[in-house]
Structure 1
Amino acid sequence: MITGAYVSHACWNDWRHFFEGYGYTVITPPWPHKEADAATLRLNHPDRELASLTMQQTIDSYIDVINGLSEKPILMGHSFGGLFAQVLLNRGYGAAAVAIHAVPPQGIFPYEFSFLKSNAATLGFFSSLDEPYLMPFKKWQYVFTNGMPLEVQKNSYYDLVIPESKRAARGGLTSTAHVDFKKEHPPLLLLAGRQDNCIPAHLCKRVYLSYQNKNSVTEYVEQDRNHFVLGQPTWKEDANYILNWIRRQ
């Protein structure tokens, strides 16, 4: 399970226990320099070492984990992690992949307004790259938890939100985020949310339509979810759908 930007890998805790309950071995390795809990990482902000992290280094860290396994894993990623899952699958590192509300690969320009509003500050074009970006609570309410009760928004913010490397975020604009859409690939499931401001469903659908290999399984599912899909009350419904999809494939 591959974590996205802005949040701790603890966002997978319920999902990890769910799949372990069905006999799967599950690992949720954090991005480099993000091993600590959310409160500690926020306390250390701004961390220059975290600020230096690139997307290539992050993907390489997952390749190192995969190379240490006895078999190719099923890759499951959310947001930036969903992009990483697609990149890794495309490079032959996965038996299958699930991309949940995923950042688009290189070449698919995200012109959707809510995406730009959600993510522009993270790219650091008008701020120093030597200081990580820490999403303010008001932005969290718009980007991740729109439509949810205030108490849930507050608790999830303090439990999960961590500083983010602007250099890593910029990697999504480079060849590090390249996917060959014509290449044959193992089964890929793309999930999208109609209430998602960060990664709008329209953007996810454009990614899905870019996959062109007719010999490969590529499936697209759209639901009424926001970007906090991993922590919404419907998370177990989504996990069940993914479990059954994996079994079918």
Structure 2
Amino acid sequence: MGTSVLFIHGLWLHATSWEPWLARFRDEGYDVQAPDWPGDGETVEESRRDPDAIADHGIDDVVTHFAGLIDALPEPPILIGHSFGGMIAQKLLGQDRAKAAIAIDAAQIKGVLPVPLSALRATLPVFKNPANKHRAVSLTAEQFKFAFANAVSDEESAELYNRWTIPAPGRPLFEAAAANFSPHSPAEVNTGNQGRGPLLLIASGKDHTVPESVTRATLKQYRHSEAVTELQTFPDRGHSLVIDSGWGEIADTCLTWLRGQSL
């Protein structure tokens, strides 16, 4: 059996959006899985039908969920997460639950200060109503285009929206927004861990939801650790980079980096 790789999706995407990645990594000899978040249905359609099951799950709920899955594995896996999945991957890596992690356009962790206007606009569908902290919120096609698919065509944006999007819990966004004012925020990551496995941060130059400046500020949070922490930027990509027609370039970059880390 090959090295285990767990893929962790972020808000508004279903776990099955990782299917092309699973095939690519399986071909390279990895043992792969892309688990659902708590409350997600087994399919996109089931998730859309039951948003109440998705609602009110916070960051700690998701971390505990994936920690339980990791504990059932014969050895710590490699984690690859996108958006909030990237934050979850960093938290688990900081807890020494993973061999390595790749965080792609990861949601901001505690200590990251810049909140660009585009990020505020991208998350406005959640923050416009405080009650959304306890609800699941869906994006419209127009909102998805701005938040995820601004770097691809309107036609591709519509196809991605129809194929992969599901309602998302509002709670993680509220928790991340309040992180720097909370002494015990669930968005806090053990960035000072000296003995953790290597971490690759991937940023997208055209990302509206997690702009490159946020990822660069995240990198600075790791300055007190001597563990491997690297950054790679794709200047012309947006937040949809893991699901759009250019996904293969990102997947191959991850594979190349893992080989470079003897993983």
Q: List runs of 5+ in structure 1 lacking aligned partners.
A: none
- 1:177-229, Cα deviation, whole Å (9 max, x unpaired): 11132221210000000011110011111111221135211100111210001
Measure the CA separation in 1 of the matches of 2:146 and 2:162: 16
Percent identity over paired residues = 28
Does residue 33 of structure 2 align to residue 27 of structure 1? Answer: yes
User: Structure 1: how far apart are the matches of 2:104 and 2:158?
Assistant: 23
Q: Which runs of 4+ in 1 moved over 6 A?
A: none
Equivalent in the alignment of 2:59? 55
Take 2:165 and 2:132, find their aligned partners in 1: how far apart are those partners?
20
For residues 16-36 of structure 1, the C-alpha deviation after alignment (integer angstroms, 9 at most, x for no partner) is 100000010001001011133
The yes-or-no answer on 1:206 pairing with 2:217 is: yes
On the 8 A contact 2:148/2:238 being kept in 1, the answer is yes
SS at match of 2:54: helix
- The aligned residue for residue 142 of structure 1 is 146
- For residues 1-249 of structure 1, what are the structure 2 equivalents within 5 Å? 1-45=7-51, 47=52, 49-123=53-127, 125-172=129-176, 173-174=178-179, 175-184=185-194, 185-213=196-224, 215-223=226-234, 224-249=236-261
1:124 touches 1:166 (CA, 8 Å); kept in 2?
A: no
- Alpha-carbon distance in 2 for matches of 1:167, 1:66: 23
What is residue 3 of structure 2 aligned with on the other side? none
**Alignment CA distance shift 1:72-1:237 (3 Å):** same
The answer to whether the 8 A contact 2:160-2:244 is kept is no
Partner SS for 1:162? coil
* Per-residue Cα deviation, 1:51-101 (whole angstroms, up to 9, x for no partner): 232221111000000000000100110000000010000011110000000
Comparing 166-175 with 79-88, which one deviates more in the overlay? 166-175
Mean CA deviation greater in 210-219 or 187-196? 210-219
User: 2:253 and 2:41 mapped to 1: Cα distance?
Assistant: 29
Q: How many residues align?
A: 247
Give the superposed CA RMSD: 1.6
Taking structure 1 as the reference length, what is the TM-score of the superposition?
Answer: 0.93
Does the 8 Å contact 2:59/2:88 carry over to 1?
A: no
Q: Provide the rounded CA distance (Å) in 1 between the counterparts of 2:159 and 2:246.
A: 18
Note if contact 1:51-1:166 (Cα within 8 Å) is conserved in structure 2: yes
CA distance in 1, matches of 2:117, 2:207: 12
1:35 and 1:246 mapped to 2: Cα distance? 31
**Larger deviation, residues 51-60 vs 87-96:** 51-60
1:124 Cα deviation after fit: 6.0
